[in-house]
Amino acid sequence: MDISPNVFDAIGTTFSVLFMLALFENVIVLNLYHSCEKLHIRTNMWIVAVIYCDMLIVLSAFPFVIISSFSKSFIFGYYGCQWDGFLVTSLGSASIFLLTGLSLQRYFIMTSKLRSNKISRFRIWLAIGICLSFGLFWGIMPLIGWGSFELEGIGISCAPDWKSGTSSNISYTIAMYVFVFFIPVAIIIICYLSIVLKVMSFIISWTPYAVVSLLTSLFDMNLEEISPVIVQLPCLMAKTACIWNPVVYVCHNREFRKAFVKKFRLWNRASSTQSTYDLTSRPNTFRRTSSTVKRSRVFKRASQ
């Protein structure tokens, strides 16, 4: 099926804007965290780990989509496809596991006498390391034979192949659906049942991709015959999760909000000070210049 060049251009333009937005958001959050000691609490360690994963997705996956969109095809070859699929799968899975770990920690703190400061930083770093290892596991498996990475949709990005119908790809897709989507979503919903927004942003990003891949694998539905764009959109939506995480998990964090307001006031004050300095320094420069000219004229007259 021929895809209109306008579709490629629209996706390329959209993801160029999303790239700058996501980069700005994640850089701001990391800057706030590292510049404000009050944010160095144990719960925020999970959030920062998620932000770092999101930052890597933005820097590694978005350029593939943007360049391929404006080129009207995936120009990075077989190994580029494997690298793209590995990065997105590993980092995306790790981000999901990290959000699940964060929800579990908050759940235990809210529902028991356990306090955040009672959990050692070593244990949290260990748990974060395990989440990252699980994400790496799901990214490596297609490279060594369980599942595979292929171009999807209109051919501008790569992801696990859930279309071929082989037993390896089907089993990998089902396993990912269960262990990387269904179980984490169930845990997050249970832990965050009263915080709907935090659940919805995650589900909106990942549900279309999970549903399309599962339907194609189990029921042999070839959605590309209907429209490759329909197949491409869920994968692109999954990548936008790195935009929502800084907004949802940081804006609803009291410490981060206070740090952002303080930092914004400092930036605004510095900008105002610089503007005032520029306005007050110019007349002085003018007066000094004028007085210098007058002294020069007097000197010339005296010499004459």
Looking at the domain assignment, is residue 274 inside a domain?
no
pLDDT at 299: 46
Q: Is the pLDDT of residue 133 over 80?
A: yes
Residue bearing the bigger pLDDT, 10 or 195: 10
Looking at the domain assignment, is residue 46 inside a domain?
yes
Looking at the domain assignment, is residue 40 inside a domain?
yes
- How many other C-beta atoms lie within 10 A of the C-beta of residue 267? 10
The count of structural domains within the chain is 1
- Decide: 181 and 96 in contact? Cβ < 8 Å: yes
Looking at the domain assignment, is residue 290 inside a domain?
no
Lowest pLDDT segment from 116-120, 150-154, 213-217, 282-286? 282-286
3-state secondary structure 136-162: HHHHHHHHCCCCCEEECCCCCCEEECC
- What's at 228, amino acid-wise? P
Q: What is the pLDDT of residues 75-86, one digit of tens each?
A: 999 999 999 999
Which CATH number goes with the domain that contains 11? 1.20.1070.10
Q: Is the pLDDT of residue 219 over 50?
A: yes
Q: Is the pLDDT of residue 207 over 90?
A: no
Looking at the domain assignment, is residue 292 inside a domain?
no
pLDDT at 5: 87
Looking at the domain assignment, is residue 13 inside a domain?
yes
Dihedral sign of CA atoms 247, 250, 252, 256 in order: negative
pLDDT band at 139 (very low <50, low <70, confident <90, very high): very high
Which residues are CB-contacts of 29 (< 8 A; sequence separation ≥ 6)? Answer: 47, 48, 51, 246, 250, 256
Average pLDDT over residues 184-195: 78
Residue bearing the bigger pLDDT, 127 or 117: 127
Lowest pLDDT segment from 12-16, 180-184, 185-189? 185-189
Q: What is the pLDDT of residues 88-114, one digit of tens each?
A: 999 989 999 998 998 888 777 766 655
pLDDT at 94: 94
Lowest pLDDT segment from 99-108, 175-184, 194-203? 194-203
Instruction: Provide the 8-state DSSP code for 74.
Output: -
> Distance between CA atoms of 112 and 160, rounded to whole angstroms?
40
pLDDT band at 262 (very low <50, low <70, confident <90, very high): confident
Looking at the domain assignment, is residue 231 inside a domain?
yes
Q: Is the pLDDT of residue 202 over 70?
A: no
Looking at the domain assignment, is residue 291 inside a domain?
no
Q: By residue range, what is the domain housing residue 10? A: 5-252
CA atoms within 13 A on the CB side of 103: 23
